[in-house]
Structure formats: C-alpha cells, structure tokens
A and B are shown apart, each in its own frame.
Chain A
Amino acid sequence: MKLDAAVSPPVPAGMVLASLIIFTLVYAALMVADVYLLVSFARAGAPAPEAEQITVRSDPGFTLAEAQD
C-alpha cells in the first residue's frame, strides 16, 4: 500500500495541518511552563537535609546486617 492510498479520505489535508500546528503550539506552551517551573525550583535550591534522614542512620535498631539484606 502506498502512502497516498493510506490517507483517510474524510479528513481534509488542511485539517491535518491545522491539528499538527495547534498540537505543536500547545506542547510548546506547556514546555515553556515546564521549563519555567524547573528553573524556579532550581533557583530556590535544594532543601536542607531533613532530620529524618539522620535519625535513620543513628537508629540503634539499624544494623549492618539489615542494610545488606
């Protein structure tokens, strides 16, 4: 089957083009919003190490044998 024969007859070429352009624009706008969020979170920096991470290490019940499991 050639590409020409596989095209959906009821869908005009203009509509395919229009949907392609609109999808591209929407995804581009969403990408801008995403990068904006990424940059603003990166600028804010990583949060300070949390207290609970330290308690896990100093937990007397936590042994090397368990860690190897």
Chain B
Amino acid sequence: MDLNTLWFILIGVLYTGFFILEGFDFGVGMLLPFLGQGPDASETDLRRRMIINTIGPFWDGNEVWLLTAGGATFAAFPKWYATLFSGFYLPFFILLLALILRGVAFEFRSRRPDALWRNFWDWSIFFGSLVPSLLLGVAFANLARGLPIDSEMNYVGGFSNLLNHYALLSGVTTVVIFILHGAIFLSMKTESPLNEYALQAARRIWIPAAILDVLLLVSTYLSTDILARLGVNPGVIPLTGVAALFFVGYFLRRKRNGVAFAATIVTIAAAIATLFMLMYPYVMISTIDPAFSLNIYNAASNPYTLRVMTIVALIFVPIVLLYQGWTYWVFRNRVLARPESLTY
C-alpha cells in the first residue's frame, strides 16, 4: 500500500471518528428543545442544562476530528481540498456559521438567568446541530454521486446542483440517525426521569431511521455507480451497517442501551466506509468526463510531504486518542439532576 492510499484511508478514518463522536452531540443538540421540557419553567431549564452537560466536556474535542480531516485533506491532497472547498463554498460557509453559533451557545447559554437569553442560545444549539448534520449528509452524497468537474479540476455546477433527491435523502437520513444516536447517548448519560424519556425518544426515532437507511442504500444503487464498483451484493460492510441499525430497535426494547449505542456506531462507521470504498481511488468524481476526475494521485502532495505527514501522524494520533479517551473516562458518570453539579 502506498502513502496515497494510506492517507485516503486515514482521512476516511478521521471522518468516521467525527461522525461517530460529533454524531451523538449533534443528536443531543437537536433533541435539546424537545427533551428539555419539564412540568414547569425551572424543571425545563434544569433538564436543558443536564442535556447540555452530557456533551459539555466532549463536543469540542469531537469537532476537532472534522478540522483534522479537513487539514489532512489540505496537506495530503491539496487539489481535492481546493476543488471541494471552492465548489462547496456556500454550503461550507453556512456550515461554519452554524458551528460558530453552536460553539458559543454552549458557553453563553447559562451565564444569564433570563428566559429570552437562554431560549435564543438553546435554539442556536438546535439549528447549529441540525444544519451541519443536514449539509454534511448532502455533501457526502454528492461526493459519492459525482459532480460536474471540468478539465481544470473546477466545480462548474451551482448550489442547486447539490440539492438533488439523492443528496437530500442522505441529508435527512444523517439527521435522523444522529438524533437516534444522540437519544441513546442521553439515555446512558442522564438520571431518571430524563434517561427514560431519552429511551422513549430513541425507540420512536428508530423506526424512521431504519426505513431511511434502507432507502438510502437502495437509492445509492440508483444514483451512484456502486453496482459497477461493489456489485449487486455490496459486501459485508454496507450490509453490516444496515443490519446493525435493525438490531438497535431490538436492543432498545430490551433496554440494552450500551449495546444499542455500539450498534449505531457500527452503522455510522459502515456508512462512511462504504462511501470511501465507493470513491477509491477517486476523491472527486467528474460527471462531465471520467478523465476529469480527481484521484489520490493527481490530487496529491509530493511524496516528501506525505512521508513527513505519516511520521507526524504516527506520533501524535495516539497521543490525541489517549487524551480524548481519558476525557471520556473522567466524565464517565451520569449527569445529576442537581443545579450545583452542572457546569454549563
């Protein structure tokens, strides 16, 4: 395996880590205004604070996986980065705005007591979680489907070109699976009664999530060249992903929330792995002429850069994994329903 292939796989791993980790905190953010509802105003506020505190120590570390994936793309495949970021300028601009508001919202929300202030930031967290989930689902489906890319490696379609049926289905599926993933996370990280409400929400959202996931796999056959690349039987990875999501429903009914959470992790990981298997060795597929497509060789940095990056990654990735794992260990307990124990 050459370094180009290694870095293609590593970028896939970074996106997988991002979608698994930020997937649940986006889900928690989208559930915030709905699960954060109590019989009175003070109970509503307490529940919202508990919900935010479940992801308080984690969300920013989770988001770093996206930055690292973008950074690795820039360093290893600068032409992929250039085509992607200029082609998706408007959606990525909206994505950044949503992430900026969301990040500030966590910090500002509980610093003032008035309801209007808190409500504004709560909805910033909601939209700041919904919009990125939707846009990333749309963007990744377009990568699988192919884009109008000319001989100069430039994206020549408009914004509306990105909003095709397949991409929108992928966006909605991403949103719903993240809500499911987040609801299961909340059921494991909060005290009664919030954890029971989260479990109910997870059971309800599981049905549309499973239906959408099957629809997405079927429409992947209609909208991408998966048939030519992976065959009628797409192989063990995509099928495991879809099957895992069906088991989630079973585990939730038996209150095996930890196993259900592991199963949604498998589904998300398999979805990203399928996308990267579909693309390899291409990184941006041209629908104008296959010869215009960017692949891991014509979009890559020089071999020296890739070699230096590999050494740096071998040193620092284990360190990052260790300290992120440590954060999860330190904050492994459930969030208590006591205002004085809440940071956010």
Chain A residues near B93 (CB, 8 Å)?
19, 22
Closest to B149 in A: A10
Interface stretch of the complex, out of B43-51, B97-105, B189-197: B97-105
Determine the distance from Cα of A23 to Cα of B97 in the docked complex, in whole angstroms.
8
Closest to B100 in A: A26
Chain A residues near B97 (CB, 8 Å)?
22-23, 26
- Residue A28 interfacial (CB < 8 Å): no
Determine the distance from Cα of A33 to Cα of B114 in the docked complex, in whole angstroms.
14
Near A by CB (< 8 A), chain B positions 166-209 give none
Q: Give the residue of B89, B101, B108 whose beta carbon is less than 8 angstroms from that of A11.
A: B89
- Residue A47 interfacial (CB < 8 Å): no
Determine the distance from Cα of A23 to Cα of B86 in the docked complex, in whole angstroms.
17
Q: Please report whether the interface of chain A is mostly helix, strand, loop or mixed according to DSSP.
A: helix
Q: Give the residue of A10, A33, A37 whose beta carbon is less than 8 angstroms from that of B155.
A: A10
Determine the distance from Cα of A38 to Cα of B291 in the docked complex, in whole angstroms.
57
Determine the distance from Cα of A40 to Cα of B114 in the docked complex, in whole angstroms.
13
- Residue B212 interfacial (CB < 8 Å): no
- Residue A53 interfacial (CB < 8 Å): no
Chain B residues near A27 (CB, 8 Å)?
100
Q: Please report whether the interface of chain B is mostly helix, strand, loop or mixed according to DSSP.
A: helix
1/0 contact trace for B107-134 toward A, CB 8 Å?
0100110000000000000000000000
- Residue B156 interfacial (CB < 8 Å): yes
Closest to B159 in A: A15
How many of chain A's residues have a CB under 8 angstroms from any CB in B? 16
In angstroms, how far is the closest chain B Cβ from the Cβ of A13? 12
- Residue A35 interfacial (CB < 8 Å): no
In angstroms, how far is the closest chain B Cβ from the Cβ of A41? 8
Chain B residues near A8 (CB, 8 Å)?
82, 85-86, 89, 154
In angstroms, how far is the closest chain A Cβ from the Cβ of B186? 28
Determine the distance from Cα of A40 to Cα of B156 in the docked complex, in whole angstroms.
50
Contact check, A37 vs B112: say whether CB atoms are below 8 A apart.
yes
Chain A residues near B112 (CB, 8 Å)?
37, 40
Chain B residues near A10 (CB, 8 Å)?
86-87, 89, 154-156
Counting chain B CB atoms within 10 Å of each CB, the highest count among A10, A15, A22, A37 belongs to A10
Chain B residues near A15 (CB, 8 Å)?
89-90
Can you name 8 extra interface pairs (CB under 8 A) apart from A23-B96, A26-B100? A10-B86, A11-B89, A26-B97, A26-B101, A33-B104, A33-B108, A34-B108, A41-B111
Interface residues of B (CB under 8 A from A): 82, 85-87, 89-90, 93, 96-97, 100-101, 104, 108, 111-112, 152, 154-156
4 A-B pairs closest in CB distance:
A8-B86, A11-B89, A19-B93, A10-B155
Can you sample 7 A-B contacts with CB below 8 Å?
Answer: A8-B82, A15-B90, A19-B89, A22-B93, A22-B97, A23-B97, A26-B100
